[in-house]
Amino acid sequence: MNIFRFEHPDALYLLLLIPALAFIHLFLARKRRKALEEFGNIDLLNELMPNVSFKRPTVKFYIMLLAFVLLIITIAGPQYGSKLQTVKRKGIELIVALDVSNSMMAQDIEPNRLERAKRAISRLIDKLRNDRVGFIVFAGEAYVQLPITTDYPSAKMFLNSINTDAVGTQGTAIGAAINKGMESFTSQEDVNRAIIVITDGENHEDDPIAAAAKAVEAGIKIYTVGMGLPKGAPIPIPGGRSNDFMKDRNGNVVISKLDEQTLQKIAITGNGAYIPANNIRNGINNLVDELSELEKSELEAKVYTQHNDIFQYFALIALLLIIIEFVILERKNKRLKHINIFEVKNKKDNAE
């Protein structure tokens, strides 16, 4: 299988300048023509200025614009790869279990618990090196959002798409998330593994302590990240107004509070550590440091290892276009302007 890619894809954003340049040229050309029409009749002006060409500057501009496009592609570093190999890298396997229940929309930490959690996960991914990572989303049930992978850009893409609609059943089944995480690791042996549970800790469904103990027996460490504050906050109604909050059967506003005690117990049982949301930046850094101390194992991954540079072809065509643009004069050539092969042909046809 062959694959086309760019070594520096960010450079392709420069292509956004192309329509802008074309629009500016078209605007100036129309403005120039309008000025000439106000000065006099165009056909008469052509007779008075036989060596002036109104088309050549436009042709030269679009030739140069095409050359500019090719130069941008050259800078982006086009590559063509055709060799898929299995490479071995040393790392660990990591599952991030993210709570997506409605209580994660509480705003006791800005902008809300879920968004703050996603930012923390993004920073965590940025710090990973050669490790496999996967996502579990959970509320009343737990599901695999991203199978374990070393494709970090894809992981971030999946992360951005996570919201409270990812799981239809409401609740907070932390135990189910841990169990699903245990099932989501690869079958490779002798690999250090860890599960990071990010939640507000309000477990209503199962026994997360027992699940953590089961994970430890399987050689998996459990880390917990508490999202929210102990004093709690109301839960906004999805799609409602800014001051619409969920209420209980008696009409009282439901206050979702961080259950630090439960999360600390899970972390202790899981031989891991607990990270509070109010110190999440330093906590993630400490977590990465602790994970990096785990013994790395050889992990297999399939990657394209041969990428042949083909930027030189685009650069050569761009250079030829620049030369052509330079050779084409804006004014008509006095010696060549009288040559008209079509007129000669017409004379011959008439003679026949």
Average pLDDT of span 228-246: 85
Question: Whole-angstrom Cα distance, residue 215 to residue 296?
Answer: 19
Read off the pLDDT of residues 209-223 as tens digits, 9 standing for 90 and up.
Answer: 999 999 999 999 999
Query: What type of residue sits at position 145?
Result: Q
Average pLDDT of span 144-168: 90
Strand partners, 308: 80
Q: How confident is the model at residue 344 (pLDDT cuts 50, 70, 90)?
A: very low
Question: Whole-angstrom Cα distance, residue 3 to residue 36?
Answer: 52
pTM over 0.85: no
Alpha carbons within 13 angstroms on the beta-carbon side of residue 240 total 11
CA distances from 16 to 9, 10, 20, 177, 227 (A): 13, 12, 7, 44, 40
Sheet of 297-309: strand order equals: 3-6, 78-91, 297-309
Q: Is the pLDDT of residue 49 over 90?
A: no
Query: What type of residue sits at position 297?
Result: S
DSSP annotation of 55 reads: S
For the residues of 173-226, what is the DSSP string, one character each?
Answer: -HHHHHHHHHHTS-S-SS--EEEEEEE-----SS-HHHHHHHHHHTTEEEEEEE
Which region holds residue 228: left if phi is over 0, alpha if psi is between -120 and 50, else beta? left
Do residues 134 and 144 lie in contact, with contact meaning Cβ atoms separated by under 8 Å? yes
Nearest partner of 178 among 81, 298, 76, 272, judged by Cα: 272
Average pLDDT of span 74-78: 92
Question: Which CATH homologous superfamily contains domain 93-295?
Answer: von Willebrand factor, type A domain (3.40.50.410)
Read off the pLDDT of residues 247-288 as tens digits, 9 standing for 90 and up.
Answer: 988 889 999 999 999 999 999 999 999 998 777 777 788 888
Average pLDDT of span 160-181: 91
Long-range contacts of 322-329 (CB under 8 A, 24+ apart): 322/64, 322/67, 324/63, 325/60, 325/63, 325/64, 325/67, 328/56, 328/59, 328/60, 328/63, 329/56
Average pLDDT of span 293-315: 74
DSSP annotation of 52 reads: B
- Better-scored residue on pLDDT, 342 or 94: 94
Question: Whole-angstrom Cα distance, residue 209 to residue 70?
Answer: 60
Ramachandran angles phi, psi of 49, nearest 5°: -125, 70
Nearest partner of 139 among 102, 106, 113, 112, judged by Cα: 102
Average pLDDT of span 96-118: 93
Q: How confident is the model at residue 336 (pLDDT cuts 50, 70, 90)?
A: very low
Q: How confident is the model at residue 118 (pLDDT cuts 50, 70, 90)?
A: very high
Question: Whole-angstrom Cα distance, residue 98 to residue 269?
Answer: 19
pLDDT at position 253 is 93
Q: Is the pLDDT of residue 84 over 80?
A: no
Q: What residue segments make up the domains of the chain, in order of their start? A: 3-81+308-351, 93-295
